[in-house]
Amino acid sequence: MSAEHVYRVASSGWLHCHGHQVEEVPAWPRLTHSALVVLDMDDVYTDVWRFEGKTEYAAALVEKRVRTQGLVEGAAHVVVHRLVKLPGGFQVFFSAISLDLWQRCTQWAKEQDDHCLVMMAGGLLCDGVASGSARVVLSQRRLMCFVQSEEGMVFGSTQALGSGPSAMASAAQVLTSNHSTLLMRLGAEAVEWCTLWSTQPADVDTCLAAVRSVVGGAPVVMHAQEMTLAAERVHTAMPTLARKAAGRHALNPSLERVAWRAERWVAPITVVTALVGIVLAIVGVLVGQLADQQRNAGMNQRAELEALQSRIQTVSLVEAPGKLLPVAEFSRTLDEGARHDPVAFMAVLKAASNKDIRIQRVRLETTSSLGSAQPGKKAFRVDGVVAPGASASVTRWVSQMAAAGWTLRAVDPTFTLPGSFSYELVANAAALGNVKP
Residue 384 has pLDDT above 60, yes or no: yes
pLDDT value, residue 99: 92
Q: How many secondary structure helices (H) and strands (E) does the chain include? A: 11, 19
pLDDT value, residue 320: 54
pLDDT value, residue 335: 58
Could you tell me the CA-to-CA distances from 61 to 69, 102, 152, 381 in Å, in that order?
12, 18, 18, 111
pLDDT value, residue 372: 43
pTM of the model: 0.61
pLDDT tens-digit series, residues 184-196? 999 999 999 999 9
> What is the gyration radius of the CA atoms in the chain, in angstroms?
50
Q: Where are the beta strands (DSSP E) in 330-403?
A: 357-367, 377-386
Q: How confident is the model at residue 389 (pLDDT cuts 50, 70, 90)?
A: confident
Give the DSSP letter of residue 29. P
pLDDT tens-digit series, residues 293-327? 888 888 888 888 888 888 777 766 655 566 555 65
Report d(CA 194, CA 204) in Å as an integer.
9
Identity of the highest mean pLDDT range in 28-42, 251-265, 294-308: 28-42
pLDDT value, residue 414: 85
Report d(CA 16, CA 256) in Å as an integer.
21
Report d(CA 425, CA 436) in Å as an integer.
11
Q: How confident is the model at residue 273 (pLDDT cuts 50, 70, 90)?
A: low
Residue 142 has pLDDT above 60, yes or no: yes
Sign (positive or negative) of CA dihedral 328, 332, 337, 339: positive
pLDDT value, residue 274: 63
pLDDT tens-digit series, residues 197-230? 999 999 999 999 999 999 999 999 999 999 999 8
Q: Where are the alpha helices (DSSP H) in 253-363?
A: 254-316, 325-339, 342-352
pLDDT tens-digit series, residues 91-141? 999 999 999 999 999 999 999 988 999 999 999 999 999 999 999 999 999
φ, ψ (nearest 5 deg) of residue 296:
-65, -40
Q: What is the largest CA-CA distance in the chain?
A: 136
Q: Hey, which residues does 154 pair with through a beta bridge?
A: 147
φ, ψ (nearest 5 deg) of residue 300:
-65, -40
Over range 56-79, report the average pLDDT.
Answer: 92
Residue 266 has pLDDT above 70, yes or no: no
DSSP 191-238: EEEEEEEBS-HHHHHHHHHHHHHHHTSPPEEPP-EEEEETTEEEEE-H
pLDDT value, residue 322: 61
Instruction: Give the range among 15-29, 61-75, 334-348 with minimum mean pLDDT.
Output: 334-348
Residue type, 14: W
pLDDT value, residue 236: 96
pLDDT value, residue 91: 97
